[in-house]
Amino acid sequence: MGRARLIVLGLLIAIVALLFLLPVVVESHSVINLVIKILLYVILASSWNILGGYTGQTNLGLAAFFGLGTLTTRLLWMGGVSIFVSLPIAGVVALSLALLIGAPAFRLRGVYFAIGTLAIAQILYVTVGNVFPRLSSLPATYLTTYQLLPRYYVFVSLTLFTVGTAYVLVHSKLGLGMMAVREEEDAAESLGVSAFRHKLLALCVSSVFAGWAGGAYAWFQVGYYPQFPFSVSWTFDSMMMVYIGGAGTLLGPVIGAVFYVLLQEFLSQKLLEVHMIVFGILFILIILFLPGGFTEIWGRIRHLVAPRSRMHESPLLSRKGHG
């Protein structure tokens, strides 16, 4: 194993250990809430990256799957169903929508899928807002038993499972097929790689993770408007994180989510109303000068320090090879 891989592996082990021990060493609920927000966006960004980063299919309707997971879990859980039953069902509901959209859309070329997912998300946003117009808040009986730590560890577990599944997927034959479709669909088809099957599989996996993220969010939030999780901001924020960190890489969405949330929190406190303008300018600069995201810096450093060691480049931070 190369030195670069050992360093990355060591950092990952340290981060996982820190996540599990954080509530033990940090008593501040504001810090725990901030970490939960980061973990939520890591799941969403990784979910979007599986389809958009590895197969090259732009999903403008990630919020539809996230929102369905939120709505399903909230209704079931507040109806007396265990959260550990509600979450899997939320994933199934999100998967059903993915099959409903992907099966016809992926048989067409062009922007049909992107337009279709955006339209579905907007339709659900309006529909849910009309059907459930009032604030969804927890009853007093739920508030008295509300505990933050179980919710924190659910987010930690979902995050690790999402990133771990993405790692296994992109290092499999299916993952190679997805990347082949991304690079050149016609060439992949000529080699016997079914573009339709690989794109649909990526969409299914992506939607399940988004649905689970929505379910965890519904269990975590004390109150919110039911149509809020269907807002396009969830989609575009996740896309932005992927491109900031590095699309088509495993750690890109993680890096992008951490950077995005921490910077947003800092700017919103220091610059108040104008913080989104500053953030937008920073995002444009990153896209212009680092089109490969922050993971591109890793590649540049490695080429400067050891230009002949590309064969040992960590697959966690590279789009080449296995991701």
| Cα–Cα distance, 17 to 134 (Å, whole number) | 40
The per-residue pLDDT for range 215-254, each reduced to its tens digit, is 999 999 999 999 999 999 999 999 999 999 999 998 899 9
281: left (phi over 0), alpha (psi -120 to 50) or beta: alpha
- Closest CA relative to residue 241, chosen from 222, 226, 261: 261
Q: Where are the domains of the chain?
A: 3-317
CB-based contacts of 55, cutoff 8 Å, min separation 6: 178, 179, 181, 182, 198, 199, 202
Q: Which CATH class is domain 3-317?
A: mainly alpha
The per-residue pLDDT for range 157-176, each reduced to its tens digit, is 999 999 999 999 988 999 99
Q: Is the pLDDT confidence value at 1 over 60? A: no
- Closest CA relative to residue 179, chosen from 320, 47, 317: 320
- Closest CA relative to residue 43, chosen from 116, 119, 111, 94: 94
More confident residue, 316 or 275: 275
Instruction: Give kind and range of the element (H or E) at residue 312.
Output: none
Strands (DSSP E) contained in the chain are 136-137, 223-224
CB-based contacts of 160, cutoff 8 Å, min separation 6: 16
CB-based contacts of 209, cutoff 8 Å, min separation 6: 43, 46, 47, 50, 158, 162, 165
Q: Considering the chain, what percentage of its residues have pLDDT values greater than 90?
A: 61
Query: Of 63-67, 246-250, 299-303, which has the strongest mean pLDDT?
Result: 63-67
| Cβ 199 vs Cβ 56: under 8 Å | no
- pTM of the full structure: 0.90
The per-residue pLDDT for range 95-139, each reduced to its tens digit, is 999 999 988 888 776 688 888 899 999 999 999 999 998 888 988
